[in-house]
Amino acid sequence: MGQKKDLTGSEKSKIVRYLAEGCSSLKIAKLLKRDHRTIKRFIQNSQQGRKKRVEKPRRKITAHELRKVKRAAAKMPLATSLAIFQSCNITGVPKSTRCAILRDVAKVRKAERRPPLNKTHKLKRQDWAKKYLKTDFSKVLWTDEMRVSLDGPDGWARGWIGKGQRAPVPLRRQQGGGGVLVWAGIIKDELVGPFRVEDGVKLNSQSYCQFLEDTFFKQWYKKKSASFKKNMIFMQDNAPSHASKYSTAWLARKGIKEEKLMTWPPCSPDLNPIENLWSIIKCEIYKEGKQYTSLNSVWEAVVAAARNVDGEQIKTLTESMDGRLLSVLAKKGGYIGR
């Protein structure tokens, strides 16, 4: 009889049982109709057991070289271990050793997707925090836009897959298949919107003001009491369509001016609590790698996800502002965690 394929789990169990009964390897081979050499190899490997891993000694570096590596890692963020060691003129160190040494003085990180802060930005963030430190944030309307695509953000479709199953192949379209621009606001424990920007409309100063007129002012603001309007503070970021002279003058004619229009520091998405709302909605609409086939379907998903956000969640976001301001001051204008 010739050699066959590898032993199955059932055959291995039978071999162990036959050995316990005192059968020889030759007899077992005949009973299983397998090659004698295959049976002997399995028995020998089973008796040897698992070989212990032998740790090879690391290539040691001096304390002086370690300090050089630490300084290079600080000066060269996101560099490879090879580039860091080469900049220190340290050669002959294998990759595994380089990585083991770097793990003691550095961490592997991805590049952060947020605008860099220079000295002027940090000073303006501190000035902003000091100015609004005593503000009643329950009266502030936090607003922003968000774009959602049919395919969702790259790298979100991750999850467990059963053994033997293949990972699903997502649809791939240029620019994510297009997207929908959404505007919303939050104040105290209330969600304003979301409102959909008409497809194909680019928000410049004129179209932005017209959008606010058709949605925010007509559908929400006009229903509020005079005392509410008197105390409300309107917040928007420094996008060109928001901060232009045209938009500022238009809002002033609507009664939103001076102290009722919050000044906003540059490069500060981490200070706007509505950014956290966008994260909640995106996690919901793109969960389990969900993709959409039309702009209307993704918009309907946004509306449904927004309805599921309760008042307590929104209140938690708006009440986080005191802590955010204190964090900005503590970090001297640096970025804070959201």
How far CA 163 is from CA of 6, 8, 41, 166, 167, in Å, comes to 21, 18, 29, 8, 10
CB distance 98 to 81 below 8 Å: yes
Q: How many CB atoms lie within 10 A of CB 72?
A: 20
Pick the CATH number of 119-154+177-331 from 2.60.120.10, 3.30.420.10, 3.20.20.80, 3.55.40.10: 3.30.420.10
The residue whose two tokens read 């939050």 is: 186
Q: Rounded to the nearest 10 degrees, what angle do helices 245-253 and 205-212 cross at? A: 20
If you ran DSSP here, which 8-state letter would residue 243 be given?
H
Q: How far apart are CA 7 and CA 43, in angstroms?
A: 12
Q: What is the 3-state secondary structure (H, E, C) of 250-303?
A: HHHHCCCCHHHECCCCCCCHHHCCHHHHHHHHHHHHCHHHCCCCCHHHHHHHHH
Q: How far apart are CA 227 and CA 225, in angstroms?
A: 5
Q: Rounded to the nearest 10 degrees, what angle do helices 25-32 and 36-48 cross at? A: 120
Residue by residue, pLDDT tens for the chain (338 residues) are 444 577 888 888 888 888 878 888 899 989 988 989 888 888 887 655 455 566 666 667 888 989 998 888 888 877 888 888 999 999 888 888 888 888 888 877 766 667 788 999 999 999 999 999 999 999 999 999 999 998 877 554 555 555 566 666 666 665 556 789 999 999 999 999 999 999 989 999 999 999 999 999 999 999 999 999 999 999 999 999 999 999 999 999 999 999 999 999 999 999 999 999 999 999 999 887 788 989 999 999 999 999 999 999 999 999 999 999 999 999 999 998 76
